Amino acid sequence: MICIRRLRKQKHTVSRRRRMKAKLATRVFSMDADPRLTWLGQDAPRAEWSDEDLVREYQTTGEPRAFEELVHRYERELYNYLCQYLGDPEMAEDAFQATFLQVHRKCRQFDAGRRFRPWLYAVATNQAIDAQRRNRRHRLVSLDQQSRMYTESHDLGCLIDLVEGQEIDPEEHVELNERKEDVRQAVDQLPESLRQVLLLVYYQGMKYREAAEVLDIPVGTVKSRLHTAIRKLEYHLKLPRSPSHA
């Protein structure tokens, strides 16, 4: 029964991503690019190109396949980030589409000397903030919905390891599952500035300088906020379990 539910959830997620990409393609491309236009000097398949080369081709030729490769490359990673940030799959889907619409519209403004990933996350973070302003009800999303956004057991278990500074014995899985509920609540209750850094550095695996570029803050501020976030989570996890923390 559990396997069937997981399979259904996976099919639903894949269907959502396909629908998301189809909507985006419809909104971005009104006609195919001239097939004679190519990005010179690239013999390898686009899947092997760097993000920056794909952006340069799209800037230069408007080649839809370059844009589509970028969407494909980031669809799962960025969508998961937006789900974590917003706590709602539909809001995340809208923010994802809005992000790549902005990439399409502002592509020519992209500085060829920059790295694409931090710039993309900066756009996505701004879209998420705008989505929150339009819908203040995001804080009321249930924990059941939130559990689908986070990278589930592994990330939460590792975050507990990070906070508590010790490995989790296999025999402690029952207690670990209870603690995951605490961590989900604690992360959601962090101030926005601390939660942003935690999501980017811990969940998305960004380096300090990349997160600093996304949020347009100094690297030292990223380190300070991450340290504060971990200390707050540590304090929360050390509190005695009670109805208010269950």
Same domain, 16 and 132: yes
Q: Which residues, at least 6 apart from 66, have a Cβ–Cβ distance to it below 8 Å? A: 39, 46, 54, 55, 57, 58
Here the CATH number for the domain that contains residue 18 is 1.10.1740.10
Q: Note whether 95 and 156 are same-domain residues.
A: no
Residues 12 and 122 in one domain: yes
- Greater model confidence, 65 or 173: 65
Report the number of distinct structural domains present in the chain: 2
Q: Per residue in 192-223, pLDDT tens?
A: 999 999 999 988 999 999 999 999 999 999 99
pLDDT digits (tens, 9 = 90+) for 118-177: 999 999 999 999 998 887 644 444 434 544 454 444 455 556 555 655 555 555 555 656
> Which of 106, 138, 170 is where one domain is finished?
138
Mean pLDDT of 41-70: 88
In a domain, 202, yes or no: yes
What integer is the mean pLDDT of 35-64? 78
- Claim to verify: residue 88 and residue 201 sit in the same structural domain: no
What whole-number distance in Å separates Cα of residue 182 and Cα of residue 172?
A: 15
Q: Which domain holds residue 12?
A: 2-27+49-138
CA-nearest of 174, 175, 219, 214 to 196 is 214
Please give the residue that has the higher pLDDT: either 25 or 118.
118
| pLDDT above 60: residue 94 | yes
Residue 40: pLDDT band by 50, 70, 90 thresholds? very low
Cβ contacts of 111 within 8 Å, gap of 6 or more:
none
Q: How many CB atoms lie within 10 A of CB 240?
A: 5
Same domain membership, residue 160 and residue 85: no
Residues 171, 56: one domain? Answer: no
Distance CA 246, CA 244 (A): 6
Average confidence score pLDDT of the chain = 76
Cα distance between residue 118 and residue 207, in whole Å: 10
Please say whether the beta carbons of 24 and 101 come within 8 A.
Answer: yes
Distances, alpha carbon 70 to alpha carbons 52, 53, 203, in Å: 10, 10, 20
Asked if the structure places residue 219 within a domain, the reply is: yes
